[in-house]
Amino acid sequence: MLTFCREGDAVVVHSLDRLGRDIRDLLNIVEELNAKGVAVEFLSERLKFSRDDDDPLARLQLHMLAAFAQWERNIAKARQAEGIARAKAQHPEKYQGRPVSIDAEQVNRLKEQGLGATAIAKKMRVGRASVYRHLRRAAAQAAQPKGR
């Protein structure tokens, strides 16, 4: 969008947090667009910024609202992480990841026959990454000392 916008265009955004990842990013985008002669309008905050209309109060509102939006997003992320940690502690069986869908013995047999990872993946109709992941795990297990 930044490269496509031309002078006289208007970018209409629902809210501040939909345009940038953080305060700095949001302010840089608004400044860059205004420098190109593109107006930026935020519907939910009822703010409009353009090169011709430089309102100091609107700029202050932009900074304040962007700061609150970033703070709110950080709080939500922290709460989400806490909830996930709590759920993992209470129900560890639900957070084991997807069950292994590749037949490890078949991969080992095909590898012993001299097939490479790509050929194994094609023969087993799985992704190459799955084969590489299995081979890496198998090599790591073989390298561990016995008796532990």
Burial 25-38, CB ≥16 within 10 A → b, else e:
ebeebbeebbeeeb
d(CA 88, CA 97): 12
Helices (H) and strands (E) in the chain, counts: 5, 3
Which amino acid is residue 95, in one-letter code? Y
Instruction: Spell out the per-residue pLDDT of the chain, length 148, in tens.
Output: 999 999 999 999 998 888 988 888 999 999 999 999 999 999 998 989 998 887 888 889 889 988 998 899 899 999 999 998 998 898 888 777 777 778 888 999 999 999 999 999 999 999 899 899 888 988 888 888 776 5
d(CA 52, CA 40): 12
Domains within the chain, CATH numbers bracketed? 10-80 (3.40.50.1390), 104-143 (1.10.10)
Q: CA 97, 101, 104, 107 torsion: positive or negative?
A: negative
